[in-house]
Amino acid sequence: MDVLFSDMADDALFEFLHMEIVAHVYKEHATRDDIDKERVTCISTLEAMGFRVGQGLIERFTKDCPTFKDDLDIMKFLCKDFWSTIFKKQIDNLRTNHQGTYVLQDNKFALLTQFSSGKQYLEEAPKYLAFSCGLIRGALSNLGLESVVTAEVSLMPSCKFMPFI
Amino acid sequence: MDVLFSDMADDALFEFLHMEIVAHVYKEHATRDDIDKERVTCISTLEAMGFRVGQGLIERFTKDCPTFKDDLDIMKFLCKDFWSTIFKKQIDNLRTNHQGTYVLQDNKFALLTQFSSGKQYLEEAPKYLAFSCGLIRGALSNLGLESVVTAEVSLMPSCKFMPFI
């Protein structure tokens, strides 16, 4: 029972914490007037938190790792080791145009699995992706790659993260 | 390398996220006037977040568990399974007066290990314990025990959590 409890709870701890963070950041802005402006602020706040967590994780864990031979090598590391550690599964598909654009597709993104695929949830999706965009940007930044990371959901709980270096 | 990376990063993900939450909650209050009042508000905010996370974790993971035979049995479960899952080690010492007061001592509490034992850090300690007090209260609440949970640090990074039922 120990092992099972522990395995399930590892995922859940992060998921619940993430929900709390999103809820808290949005709640503290809920009373203000300019809703569209506040939406941007909340997304930035969550993205910045993700950025710092991504930096911290990579900093601590690539100390003893081999150096990477190129950008694609870094991206593969993110899709495999980094993603598995945080989200308990690897990225399902990695594509690139070899000009700095990458598409990381997760067919069952852990932070979206609790939502159904209704349209109202699709509109809410960006706030559950911002932290993770920051995670990727922070990790890349600490590996020497400055990037802009966007995300897109077409059908829940599948989504794409698109770092542009 | 995969396994090592994953093991270390599990701890770190929670630790970094927790730091971000504490920093964020305090930062949003930093500009206000009445510092002592705000300190109480921040502690409550963090405690409430911990409470909900603790409730969620217990709710998800005790579905298939045997029922507990008494309060002490619940407390032992918290000290062992629950604590290990979140903090990667068990509580080192559990005491009770058999009248509803429990003392859970962690000799190396994960969320305090990054601080040294200087006096200035000791003063800061309560803000790093509030979330975890909430975790315990939330877990106990979902197991049918309403409680008040306080915490105390005498020598970093050792601390005591004291649920009173």
- The 10s digit of each residue's pLDDT in B5-20 is 445 555 678 888 888 8
- Residue bearing the bigger pLDDT, A141 or B30: A141
Using CB atoms, pick whichever of B49, B56, B61 lies closest to residue A5: B61
pLDDT band, residue A3 (cuts 50/70/90): very low
- In chain B, whose CA is at the least distance from the CA of A8? B61
Where does the pLDDT of residue A6 fall: very low under 50, low under 70, confident under 90, or very high at 90 and above?
Answer: very low
Least Cα separation, residue B6 to chain A (angstroms):
5
Report d(CA B110, CA A85) in Å as an integer.
Answer: 19
Token pair for residue A43? 């997304």
The separation between CA B2 and the C-alpha centre of its own chain, rounded to angstroms, equals: 29
Distance in angstroms (rounded) separating the CA atoms of residues A108 and B93: 41
Radius of gyration of chain B (CA): 16
Q: Is the pLDDT of residue B4 over 60?
A: no
pLDDT digits (tens, 9 = 90+) for B72-112: 999 999 999 899 888 889 999 999 998 899 999 999 998 88
Using N-to-C axis directions, what is the helix angle for A2-29 and A35-61, rounded to 10°? Answer: 140
Tens digit of pLDDT for each residue in B139-164? Answer: 999 999 999 999 999 788 899 999 99
Q: Sign (positive/negative) of CA torsion B73, B76, B78, B81? A: negative
Tokens coding B66: 């045997």
Question: What's chain A's Rg over C-alpha atoms?
Answer: 16
Instruction: Find all residues with CB under 8 Å of B12, minimum gap 6, and list them.
Output: A56, A57, A60, A61
Selecting from A1, A6, A24 the residue whose C-beta is nearest the C-beta of B49 gives A24
